[in-house]
Chains A and B, each alone.
Chain A
Amino acid sequence: MSRFSALLLLLCSLPLWAGQEILPFEDDAKRQLYQELVQQLRCPQCQNQNIADSNAVVSIDMRNKTYELVQQGRSKQEVIDFMVDRYGNFVHYSPPLNPLTLLLWVLPVLMLVLMLWYMLRRRQAVPTSEASNPALEQELDAIIDAYRSKK
């Protein structure tokens, strides 16, 4: 039985984040910060990989720099600022709100508002048109009843 459950547990083991280099950290907070950063920073060489996934030379250098800065006790924002200062906003997966990126942030909200407005308008429009015709309603009821009684 215990063998079986062990096997079951093995089958259920979640895919682990393998392939990370083993770096010494003195506390878990720093390790976590480092992991978070390397997954949020984008490799400038390889279009759509974070620096944790990429093995481009520049990603290796950026990981090393991130490690160095985290070990120095810099905050998350400070490390991101350091990288953005050199590689531009491209390097971080969440772009900041500025005149250039305004459209990115505003467009989805605008679409949502427009959709809601359209939906509300339709809902208001429905009872005033067809449903308020009692003769048509009666006719429809008659047809439905006739159909049901046939069965």
Chain B
Amino acid sequence: MRKWLFFAPLAIFLGVSVFLFTGLFSDPWTRDSALLNRPLPEFDLPDLMQPEQRWNRELLTGEPFLLSVWGVWCPTCKAQLGFMTELKEQGVKVVGLYYPLPVDPAFGDHFSLGQLQRDVQRELAYFGNPYQFNILDENRRLSLDLGVSGSPETFLVDANGKIRMHHVGDINPRVWRQKFEPAFEQLQQVGLAYQGAQP
């Protein structure tokens, strides 16, 4: 008992050290999305550029894709456009979910779709356009259902419309290589095998 007590402070010190040391490398921002391995939520939203075209969950299934939540007001989203355009050229399907800022009519603000379309076009022409199309998330309703806390955020969705991966922050070469690429390739192969099995 006595001997055991003699080593207790050392043991406690080592325990606390290990705990605090691992804390140095933990990121309070990374937490798993509550929607992992669940299907995309139901939605019915217009296309950003052709508002008469409407998108829903069923129209998005069929092949794996990246759902990228972004906005022209968000600097990090600009920074990732170049690399995501490269991904598109490699054959990765990227769908944009446009996250508009709230407008406060009390301050004389109003939402202008035409102005937004011009801003988006200018920005994509300048930084690169990775998007096959953009869905306009009116009132950020789908973003709320997706548990989005800001932008940029990216979801990897499989061919059946199930969410397989979630990333908060920009997509850069390192994140793509380490986090997305293996899973994306696997999903693509599964998809091809599935299509091959279809008569």
Instruction: Write the residues of chain A forming the contact surface with B, with a CB cutoff of 8 angstroms.
Output: 44-45, 47, 56-58, 60-62, 65, 84-88, 90
Question: When the two chains form their complex, are residues B34 and A57 in contact, meaning their CB atoms are under 8 A apart?
Answer: no
A88-B33 contact given A56-B150, A58-B148, A58-B149, CB 8 Å threshold: yes
Nearest B residue (CB) for A87: B147
Bound-state CA distance A62–B102 (Å) is 13
Given B31, B35, B144, which contacts A90 in the complex, CB threshold below 8 Å?
A: B31
Q: A-contacting residues of B (Cβ < 8 Å)?
A: 28, 31-35, 101-102, 139-140, 143-150
Chain B residues with Cβ under 8 A from A62's Cβ? 144
Given contacts A88-B33, A90-B31, contact A61 B147 (CB under 8 A): no
B151 and chain A: residue at smallest CB distance: A57
Pairwise interchain contact B150-A86, C-beta atoms closer than 8 A: no
A60 and B143 CA atoms in complex are apart in Å by 13
Q: Which of A57, A61, A65 has the most CB of B within 10 A?
A: A57
The answer to whether A87 and B34 have CB atoms under 8 Å apart is yes
Min Cβ gap B136→A in Å is 16
B62 to chain A, nearest CB (A): 25
Q: Quick check: B34 and A44 within 8 Å, CB to CB?
A: no
A45-B150, A58-B150 given; A86·B28 CB < 8 A: no
In whole Å, how far is A28's beta carbon from the nearest beta carbon of chain B?
26
Please measure, in the bound complex, the distance between the C-alpha atom of A58 and the C-alpha atom of B150, giving whole angstroms.
Answer: 7
Hey, which chain A residues are within 8 Å of B143, CB to CB? 61
Bound: A47/B102 CA distance, A: 21
**Nearest CB of A to B48, in Å:** 18
Closest chain A residue, CB of each to CB of B35: A86
Report the bound CA distance from A60 to B150 in whole Å: 12
CB of B107, distance to nearest CB on chain A (Å): 14
